[in-house]
Amino acid sequence: MTVTSAAPGRRVRTRHRPPDHGTGPEPAVLTVVRAGPAASVQDLGRPGMAHLGVPASGPADRRSFRLANRLAGNPEDTPALEVTLGGLAITLSATRHVAVTGAPAPLTVDGVPVDGAPRLWLRAGSVLAVGRPWAGCRTYLAVSGGLEAEPVLGSASRDFLTGLGPDPLRAGAEYGLGPARPVPAIPLELAFSVVPCGGPATVRFRWGPRHELFDAADRHRLTTTPWRVSAQCDRVGARLTGPPLAIGSVDLPSEGTVRGAIQVPPSGEPIVFLADHPVTGGYPVIGVVTDADIDLVGQTLPGDELRLAPIL
């Protein structure tokens, strides 16, 4: 079995665990009891490789991910779990602090509800289950010490577009845990995540790079339409539905794209690029959602109303 140690800002080293001759403590592991519909290991991804065709990947809601690691006493780039629409159950072989952030979801330990606690002291052998969120769609779960997952191109993030990184979670999968770390004494009531909760979510964007390809009516429509997130919504991007923009088919030579790009394909219904977006695209990008607000888009569900507010 291979274990890894991760440190922020530099390439993850991989080493092989010495054979276990029955001496010393058992290595601590996290075991997946139930995987849920789409759970994966994430760290802060593979930035800086877009020129090689490699998406940055990383958590869809980076703010909640970083918060989970901080609450668990880990560096922000430590591998942790991204749970989409709940359905996850895990158990640990060693008692650890576990932080849960992002979309608020029913939590149980051995079947007993423990809702509202952003950090748990999870005893060895107990089963922590994450149900379907009440609001938002992605819940983050960080274990003190972090997960040990095989890095690919320097990151343990699963990229659902290219297939780079560790496999998505499945029942029975085991992940080694790094040495437990002391957790910070911070007021946990301040540890909240931003998720859409009823009513429209408003996200800010900057015009460009290709907004001038669109006429005034299209640009007006983009900012006044109560867009709905469609069922075609994953870590690659969120397609929005509503009265389509009229621009029609514009093929540009492929050009680099960024997270948050609002790309308009020939259908006229925008797509907002998320963590696993392709590094280049040929449809015009009318605007880019701000870094501050793109995490909120990563928490939207099909049917959620999204309003796009331009920064002037």
Partner 1 sequence: MTPEEVPPADVAPEEVPPADVTAADVAPEQMPPADVTQAYPAPGKTILRRAGDRGWLIECADRHPAEVATSIRAQPWASGLREVVPAATTVLVVAETAAGMGTLAAGLRTVLDGTGAHPTGPPPGRRIVIPVRYDGPDLPEIAERLGLDPEEVARRHGAGEYRVGFFGFAPGFAYLDGVPESLRLPRLSSPRPRVAAGVVAIAGNQTVVYPGGTPGGWHQIGVTTTRLWDVTAEPPNRLAVGDRVVFEAVTP
Is 2 among the residues that bind partner 1 (CB under 8 A)?
no
Binding mask 172-211 for partner 1 (x = CB under 8 A): --------------------x-x-xx-x-xxxx-xxxxxx
Q: What is the DSSP string of the chain?
A: -EEEE--TTSPPEEEEPPP--S-SPPPPEEEEEE--SEEEEE-S--TT-GGGT------SSHHHHHHHHHHTT--TTS-EEEEESS-EEEEESS-EEEEEEES---EEETTEE-TT-SEEEEPTT-EEEE---SSSSEEEEEETT-EE---BTTB----TTT--SSPPP-TT-EEEEPPP-PPP---GGG-------SS-EEEEEEE-SSGGGS-HHHHHHHHHS-EEEEEEESSSEEEEESSPPS-----PPPEE--TTEEE--TTS--EEE-TT--SEESS-EEEEE-HHHHHHHTT--TT-EEEEEE--
Convert residues 290-309 into a mask of x (bound to partner 1 by CB under 8 A) and - (unbound): xxxx-xx------------x
Question: Which residues from 234-293 bind partner 1, rule CB under 8 A?
Answer: 250, 253-261, 278-280, 285, 288-293
Contact 311, 205 (CB under 8 A): yes
Residue 293 CB, nearest approach to partner 1 (Å):
7
**Selected binder of partner 1 within 152, 156, 177, 274 (CB under 8 A):** 152
Nearest distance, CB of residue 77 and partner 1, angstroms: 12
Nearest in space to 84 (alpha carbons), one of 156, 134, 139 = 139
- Whether residue 37 has a cis bond before it, omega within 30° of 0: no
Binders of partner 1: how many residues, by CB under 8 A?
Answer: 60
Q: Which is nearer to partner 1, 29 or 135 (CB)?
A: 135
Residue closer to partner 1 by CB (options 269, 304) is: 304
Please, which residue, 87 or 133, has the CB nearer to partner 1?
133
String of contacts with partner 1 for each residue 35-64, x by CB under 8 A: ------------xxxxxxxx-------xx-
Query: CB 291 → partner 1: shortest distance, Å?
Result: 4
Which residues does residue 227 pair with via DSSP β-bridges, in sequence order? 306
CA atoms within 13 A on the CB side of 147: 32
138: contact with partner 1 by CB under 8 A: no
Residue 115 CB, nearest approach to partner 1 (Å) = 21
- In the numeric block, the tokens 């990008």 are attached to 285
Which lies closer to partner 1 via its Cβ, residue 96 or residue 159?
Answer: 159
Choose between 242 and 260: whose C-beta lies nearer to partner 1: 260
For partner 1, the binding residue among 164, 169, 240, 275 (CB under 8 A) is 164
Out of 117, 215, 224, 226, the residue judged to bind partner 1 by CB under 8 A: 215
Q: How far is the CB of 213 from partner 1 (least distance, A)?
A: 5
Residues 106-135 that bind partner 1 (CB under 8 A): none
**Closest separation between CB of residue 81 and partner 1, Å?**
20
Q: Does 80 bind partner 1 (CB under 8 A)?
A: no
Residue 116 contacts residue 193 (beta carbons within 8 Å): no
Where on the chain is the footprint of partner 1 (CB under 8 A)?
11, 47-54, 62-63, 66, 152-153, 162-164, 192, 194, 196-197, 199, 201-204, 206-213, 215-216, 250, 253-261, 278-280, 285, 288-293, 295-296, 309, 311
